[in-house]
Amino acid sequence: MINLPLYQVDAFTETLFGGNPAAVVPVQDFPPDELMQKIATENNLSETAFVAIRGRGKFNIRWFTPASEVRLCGHATLASAHILYQAGDKKLKTMRFKTQEAGTIVVRPEGNGRYSMDFAAEVPQPIRSPKGLRGILGGLKPEAVFAGTDDILVVLKNQKQLSGLSPNFPMLEALKKYRGLIATAPGKKHDFVSRCFYPAYGIDEDPVTGSAHTLLTPLWSKRLKKKKMEARQISARGGELICEMKGKKVRLTGSAVTYLTGQMLLDSEG
């Protein structure tokens, strides 16, 4: 057993204590799955990213919540790119993160702690409201309901309605078909706003969810007839994203700030 470096980064924010905190663990090779899950549970952040360096600007990446591994995570990818870029080759124009199930994510440093990330766009599929959805939404009737690869997406009337949303988490967790719930509405100062809930993964409300915006961006681009939009996730911490349709890709741009650097003392295990 060897000790490993550990970083914590606030993603999708320009200031500490905002955005979504993620842990980043650079490794030569991925540790056993059981150990990665233990580390993520110990960190108790919405995601811990493990990143294996495979060449100049080339990496493999995996993400774990406190409860399980996930297919895709935007904010922890942003956090990983920030740590690797700041500690490495500042001449890199692109960074490529190969995932297990979500293809390759291309990240571009934009300067001043900002990065753009290209993801495959998800086309929201209109569906009928699943049984119990209004109960999950505390009695609210959504204006529209969609499904993505991972999540169910509901459109609410306005930002005030979204701000006051208090989901029934046991009912949401029982909705086994979906990873979680994305709720969205037109914004007051932004093109659109959102909140995201993942109790089945140990995260009642995620502060800022990059992966959700691969679904939200195509939805609002079509509704607003705009390619480039400003978005905010209105959790308690809150976070800002620039969302842009680039053909069949969604480009998300945001900032990141390093909060913590340290070392995990894994030699002491056992």
Q: Please write the tens of the pLDDT for every residue from 193-233.
A: 999 999 998 899 999 999 999 999 999 999 999 999 999 99
Instruction: Name the DSSP letter for residue 56.
Output: T
pLDDT of 80 reads 98
In this predicted structure, what is the pLDDT of residue 88?
Answer: 83
Q: 157 Cβ partners below 8 Å, 6+ apart?
A: 143, 185
Give the strand pairing for 181-186 and 152-155: parallel
Would you call 96 exposed, middle or buried from its count of C-beta atoms within 10 A (0-12, 13-18, 19+)? Answer: middle
Instruction: Return the pLDDT at 1.
Output: 61
Please name each of the domains of the chain with its CATH number: 4-120+254-268 (3.10.310.10), 125-246 (3.10.310.10)
Residues acting as catalytic residues: 47
Q: What is the DSSP string of 200-242?
A: GGTEEEES--TTTHHHHHHHHHHHHT-SEEEEEE-SSS-EEEE
pLDDT at 176: 80
For residue 105, the one-letter residue type is: I
pLDDT at residue 52, as a whole number? 97
pLDDT of residue 89: 80
Is the torsion defined by CA of 25, 267, 37, 46 positive or negative?
negative
pLDDT under 50: residue ranges of the chain: 270
How many CA within 13 A on the CB side of residue 55? 5
